[in-house]
Amino acid sequence: MTADQIKQLIANGLACDYLTLEGDGRHWYAVVVSPEFDGKRAIARHQRVYACLGDKMKTDEVHALSIKAFTPAEWAAQPV
């Protein structure tokens, strides 16, 4: 899968204020900012992003995805 395809899957399944994805075609690194993360712990946030990919992780279409998940307030507080 391409970065654009993966980003589209995440964006279609999750309201994102900000979304970036980088990788080498097998190992991906995402930054996802969503109001849906409010009140959720890190594991629940990651599960929410993985749910957007459906079976793509199980079938190895997406081999590895590292996620940094923030609420909009957390993202705004990040150092520039």
Task: CATH number of the domain at 59, please.
Answer: 3.30.300.90
42 found inside a domain: yes
Instruction: Specify the pTM.
Output: 0.93
- Assess whether pLDDT exceeds 80 at residue 11: yes
29 found inside a domain: yes
**Residue span of the structural domain in which 56 resides:** 3-75
15 found inside a domain: yes
Name the band, by pLDDT with cuts 50, 70 and 90, for residue 69: very high
80 found inside a domain: no
Q: For 20-63, write each residue's pLDDT tens digit.
A: 999 999 999 999 999 999 999 999 999 999 999 999 988 999 99
Instruction: Give the pLDDT of residue 75.
Output: 97
64 in helix, strand or coil?
A: strand
48 found inside a domain: yes
12 found inside a domain: yes
34 found inside a domain: yes
Structurally, the chain folds into a number of domains equal to: 1
Provide the H-helix boundaries in 1-80: 3-13, 42-52, 72-76
Q: List the structure tokens of 63.
A: 């081999």
Provide the H-helix boundaries in 14-77: 42-52, 72-76
Instruction: Give the pLDDT of residue 21.
Output: 97
Instruction: Give the number of C-alpha atoms closer than 13 A to the C-alpha of residue 71, restricted to the C-beta side.
Output: 11
